[in-house]
Amino acid sequence: MNRPTPDFAPVVTASAAPGQPQALFAALDAAMGHAIGHKLFTILVVHPGAQQSQRYYSNMPAEYPVGGRKPINPTHWFQKVLSDGVPYIGRDYADIADVFYDHELIRSLGCESVLNVPVRWNGSSIGTINLLHEAGWYDEGDIATAQHFAALAVPGVLQVIAQP
């Protein structure tokens, strides 16, 4: 798909603003929505010592609330995205149903494709940025742009991990 040229400046500006990491994550939501597109946008943070994950940001907090940690489930998705640090593209509902237990809720929001991009630091995945949209929305051409945005998310994710 032909996407607009990404504008990283608002994200960089937001990273210097007070109110972190919310300011940064909201800027990523807006910028990635413009550059790549999404209906549902979430940021998942990995707490490696505790082997837990936590949804820390959501543009649909009623449907996908933030907070609470849950144990990491070592699925093939986990291996690819979090262990290996490789972005995942799910192109249709079958791909969503194969990976996510809440696939029916995802579909009810008009989402049947996903792009999960690992947020990487020091050789490890410390979180993921998750974009979901209608079927067939994402392709390999979106990965480089998403990875650039994911790199900008690092300080915010590290701040969440450092919180008790």
| 3 state SS for 141-159 | HHHHHHHHHHHHHHHHHHH
The pLDDT of 89-102, averaged and rounded, is 95
pLDDT at 1 over 70: no
CB 84 within 8 A of CB 74: no
Name the helix (H) or strand (E) containing 58: strand 52-58
The topology under which CATH files domain 37-61+71-162 is Beta-Lactamase (3.30.450)
pLDDT tier, 75 (very low <50, low <70, confident <90, very high otherwise): confident
**Residue of higher predicted confidence among 3 and 141:** 141
- 62 Cβ contact partners less than 8 Å away, ≥ 6 residues apart: none
pLDDT at 3 over 80: no
Predicted structure pTM score: 0.94
pLDDT at 49 over 80: no
Beta-bridge mates of residue 147: none
The encoded tokens of residue 11 equal 């994200």
pLDDT at 159 over 90: yes
The pLDDT of 116-133, averaged and rounded, is 97
> Parallel, antiparallel, or unpaired for β 67-71 and 52-58?
antiparallel
